[in-house]
Amino acid sequence: MDLIRPWLKQASTRVDPLLAQARGRYQKLEPRERLLVRIAAGVVGVFLLYSLVYVPIVDLSSGLRDKIEQRQRDLSSIRRLAATYALLKSDLASAEQSTVPQTKDFSLFSVVETSLTGSIGHEKIASITPGSDRKLTDGFTEHSVQLKLENVNLAQLVDALYAIGSMSQPVGVATLRIQRRSENPHAYDVDLTCVALAKNA
């Protein structure tokens, strides 16, 4: 207050004569003119209150409401991302559990051949060819084996698929093509591809 008191005093000395002059002119007006001046002053006061008080408050409230809504949308997006991350993490854990050992001792070719020889017999296996290993994302390698079974009936085909699905190692069937033999409508030739995932060390 000590700092601004001189400025207030200087402003008062300049404003007081103007106020006195305006008051004097107001006193000289007719009653009807005074009423008009009061109405004009009221309109100006309302306009100033609206422009300097109401509008800033409304703008501030609207801005806060927009910010709150944006934060709520951001929070919803974060929750969806967290749920997606948890799901992907669970899928990755499941995939890691459904992998074959990545060792020199493991051979998908040998595992599949042994299983099918025991289920349908070696004579039904026309060919078995190891596929090329395929590097996948997230540190996995896909091993594959292509097989051709000849002259098998439906029961033997079911036994072969069951044998593949019930192996101690997680092996699946990626492709399967069944073709009926022309000389025997109850026999089929089958082309299939077995795959297994291995996690890279």
User: Token digits for 167?
Assistant: 């192996």
Range(s) of the domain holding residue 75: 21-97
In a domain, 5, yes or no: no
Other CB atoms within a 10 A radius of the CB of residue 145 amount to 22
Residues 6+ apart with CB under 8 A from 138: 92, 95
- Are both 120 and 162 inside the same structural domain? yes
Give the pLDDT of residue 11. Answer: 74
In a domain, 173, yes or no: yes
- Are both 80 and 127 inside the same structural domain? no
- Are both 142 and 91 inside the same structural domain? no
pLDDT digits over 57-100, tens only? 877 888 888 888 888 888 988 999 998 888 877 766 666 666 66
- Are both 156 and 181 inside the same structural domain? yes
The last residue of one of the domains, among 77, 97, 117, is 97
pTM > 0.85: no
Give the pLDDT of residue 188. Answer: 92
Kindly report the average pLDDT of the chain as a whole number. Answer: 82
Angle between helices 154-165 and 108-119 (to 10 degrees): 140
From 123, 143, 119, 146, select the one nearest 133 (Cα to Cα). Answer: 143
Judge contact between 161 and 102, C-beta under 8 A: no
Residues pairing with 145 in the sheet: 130, 194
- Are both 35 and 92 inside the same structural domain? yes
From 162, 157, 146, select the one nearest 195 (Cα to Cα). Answer: 146
- Are both 68 and 133 inside the same structural domain? no
In a domain, 148, yes or no: yes
Give the pLDDT of residue 189. Answer: 92
Give the pLDDT of residue 98. Answer: 60
Distance CA 65, CA 76 (A): 17
Number of domains in the chain: 2
- Are both 90 and 120 inside the same structural domain? no
- Are both 112 and 193 inside the same structural domain? yes
- Are both 60 and 119 inside the same structural domain? no
